[in-house]
Amino acid sequence: MLDTKLKSLPAEPGIYEMLDEKGKIIYVGKAVNLKNRVSSYFKGAKDSKTAALVEKIRDINWTITSNEMEALILESNLIKENKPKYNIILRDDKHYPYLKINMKDKYPKIQVVRRKINDGAIYFGPYATIGGVKGILKLIESIFPLRTCSDNELKHRSRPCLQYQIKRCLAPCVNYTTPDEYKKLIEETVMFLRGKEKELVRGLKQKMTIYSKNMEFEKAGKARDQIEVINKLTASQIIDKGHAKERDVIGLFEGEKKTSVMILFIRDGNIINKENYFLEHQLDESKEAVLKAFLEQYYLNHIPGKEILLPVSFDFIKTQEYLSFIKGSKVNLLIPQKGEKKQLVELANINALEKYRQREEVRLMKEKELEEGLINLKKYLNLSREPKRIECYDISNISGTNIVASMVVFTDGIADKKEYRKFKIRTVEGQNDFKSMEEVLTRRFKMKDLPKPDLVLIDGGKGQLSSALKIINGYGIEDVEVLGLAKKEEILFKEDQSEGIFIPRGDKALHIMTSIRDEAHRFAITYHRSLRDKAMVSSVFDEIEGVGPIRKKLLLKEFGSVGGIRKANINDIIEVLGNEKLARKIKDVIGDG
């Protein structure tokens, strides 16, 4: 499948997502040329990090952008959202960096912070890496002569520093500038960071004209240099940022009974994120009907942008009114015919097509592999038919507490999550996996609303298999094959068969068996941990006066678990609770990670 994907990569700028065998994103990157960049991972010598990454890659997705800058911004947001394992630079930092400007200060400076809080300051970001933030700061320093010194230095300096000497600061520390003059400079910086380059350049040109008339040629030259730098930075953007404050761009590609929809989210002139959906529909549904249905369903749970660009026209007056009602202000639906807006819709359409093509390639490949695996499974296990519904059971038991079990279901070789079930063990005391399995299967086969499985797989060897057979045979259930799968050697055990069944390594049949076994284990462990964490949270926080249900919920939402709170910095806890005394009390009780 990877070989097929690599051949399909376009020679366009964009971002790529590398996925592991469970479909989890493990790395996000950007590229000027997707084909060349992604292909390079699979060629030549590699450092240890890249080698470890490549070994785990099982799939690759990509999104085309109009230029490298858009790819950078999109990469940043995807990394923030997915926290991929192999984006090492970011993984060590709990929070992504922001730029902060506190306009309440007499002489504001730009600060790099790790958390955005509601303190009245202006924030920009988050940014993908601290290196990216430093690059932006360096750029700002070359355009806007703002102070970089600490508040303490600002108060106690008696003469200007080197930054003033090289014309990188107005020296507010020694009153070489006024608060009003400095404030205008900060406002220009904010305009630049918000993407309002056109308005900023217009203002700088006016200032340059005034300086020239007043024969202040040094100031006029500085304004000219600022204009040149800004113009170079924005020359390659296809987005007119002055008119793209909140814009959603919809792309479509209609396939057989399925349409791929791509949404590009533009805020302050940048593509900050994207989402892809697949809509099931009848063969005779028109694009217009599919688009209308999508807009009305999607924006039921999402806030629309002020402007939504559409790929096809339909009678959207009522839809526009509906979206405006959801937003609480006017939403404009547009079908652009030319110019930059048309380019954006075409870009969204291209990505909708790419996602559809990628999905179809993967689907066809998986169908072929699953068909082969189920045929082989029937052969190796000597079954009367291919197993359409396979159920697998696993017990999660750590130190005899919170004993739980999972039932996962694969239909036609694919995980069928709506059929999953989880069980708390009720009748077994202590650590007895055999008795726990008997209880679970007894309860499962009393469920009349579930269809009968073709194959039951037990995570364990002959002992677990005997416990399962005792229950299933006791119910008089026929035409259900029951197997045990031992972890160590991946041997399958079958009733009345003394020798284990070996399926060759690499065979698709074995892959189906181990995949469902691993999924059952994951599902059981996840359930067990959730129960354990809830019990731990209750017991720990009950000891701390002042931590009620609301604060408990805030802490868990931010840090995930008691362990996460234990590892957190005291300042992070203070920011969540808004109470330093209580935060320190929590740290005293649960300790440091």
Sequence ranges of the domains in the chain: 2-91, 98-234, 241-357, 389-530, 542-590
Question: Over pLDDT 90: what percentage of the chain?
Answer: 28
State the pLDDT confidence band at 533, using cuts at 50, 70 and 90: low
Instruction: Tell which wins on pLDDT, 430 or 8.
Output: 8
pLDDT for 184: 87
pLDDT tier at 68 (50, 70, 90 boundaries)?
confident
Peptide bond into 172 cis (omega under 30): no
Residue 240 pLDDT greater than 50, yes or no: no
**Domains 2-91 and 241-357 belong to one CATH topology:** no
In this predicted structure, what is the pLDDT of residue 157? 85
Find the mean pLDDT for residues 511-536. Answer: 84
Segment among 134-148, 221-235, 330-344, 549-563 with least mean pLDDT: 221-235
CATH architecture classification, 241-357: 2-Layer Sandwich (3.30)
How confident is the model over 155-179, as a mean pLDDT? 87
Alpha-carbon distance of 62 to 397, in angstroms, equals: 40
71-75, 384-388, 434-438, 506-510: which range is least confident on average? 71-75
- Poorest-confidence range of 86-90, 207-211, 372-376, 399-403? 86-90
Least confident of 107-111, 194-198, 389-393, 439-443: 194-198
| Beta bridge partner(s), residue 494 | 483
Residue 444 neighbours by CB distance under 10 Å = 20
Q: Is the pLDDT of residue 293 over 90?
A: no
Percent of the chain with pLDDT over 70: 88
Assess whether pLDDT exceeds 70 at residue 62. Answer: yes
Mean confidence (pLDDT) of the chain: 83
Span 240-263, average pLDDT: 79
Q: 53 to each of 41, 42, 63, 359, 368, how far by Cα in Å?
A: 9, 11, 20, 23, 27
Q: How confident is the model at residue 91 (pLDDT cuts 50, 70, 90)?
A: very low
Task: Provide the pLDDT for residue 156.
Answer: 83
At 399, the pLDDT band (50, 70, 90 cuts) reads low
Taking residues 320-345, report their average pLDDT.
89
* pLDDT value of residue 555: 82
Give the lowest-confidence range in 103-112, 125-134, 196-205: 125-134
The number of residues making up the chain comes to 593
Compute the distance between CA of residue 387 and CA of residue 250 in angstroms, rounded to an integer. 41
Cα–Cα distance for residue pair 509/380, rounded to 1 Å: 8
For range 95-114, the mean pLDDT: 83
For 177-209, write each residue's pLDDT tens digit.
999 989 988 988 888 777 666 777 888 888 888
Q: How high is the pLDDT of residue 245?
A: 65
Residue 331 has pLDDT above 80, yes or no: yes
Report helix, strand or coil for 209.
Answer: helix
Q: How confident is the model at residue 128 (pLDDT cuts 50, 70, 90)?
A: very low
Pick 561 or 514 by higher pLDDT. Answer: 514
Task: For residue 590, give the H/E element and its range.
Answer: helix 580-590
pLDDT in tens, 271-281: 777 888 888 77
pLDDT of residue 543: 66
Identify the band that residue 528 occupies on the pLDDT scale cut at 50, 70 and 90: confident
> Is residue 537 very low, low, confident or very high in pLDDT (cuts 50, 70, 90)?
low
Rounded Cα distance between 210 and 245, Å, is 31
* Assigned token pair, 33: 């040329």
For the stretch 13-55, pLDDT in tens is: 999 999 998 889 998 888 989 999 999 999 888 877 788 889 9
Q: In this predicted structure, which of 196-210, 459-473, 504-518 has the lowest mean pLDDT?
A: 196-210
pTM (two decimals):
0.46
- Helices (H) and strands (E) counted in the chain, each on its own, are 21, 18
Which of 287-301, 366-380, 517-531 is predicted with the least confidence, judged by mean pLDDT?
287-301
Write out the CATH class of domain 2-91.
Answer: alpha beta
pLDDT for res 161: 87
The shares of helix, strand and coil residues in the chain, as percent rounded to the nearest 5, are: 50, 20, 35
CATH code assigned to 542-590: 1.10.150.20
Of 93-107, 304-318, 443-457, 469-483, the range with the lowest mean pLDDT is: 93-107
Q: Which CATH architecture has domain 389-530?
A: 2-Layer Sandwich (3.30)
Q: Alpha-carbon dihedral of residues 206, 124, 570, 92, nearest 10 degrees? A: -130
Task: Look at 158-162, 490-494, 559-563 and tell me which has the smallest mean pLDDT.
Answer: 559-563
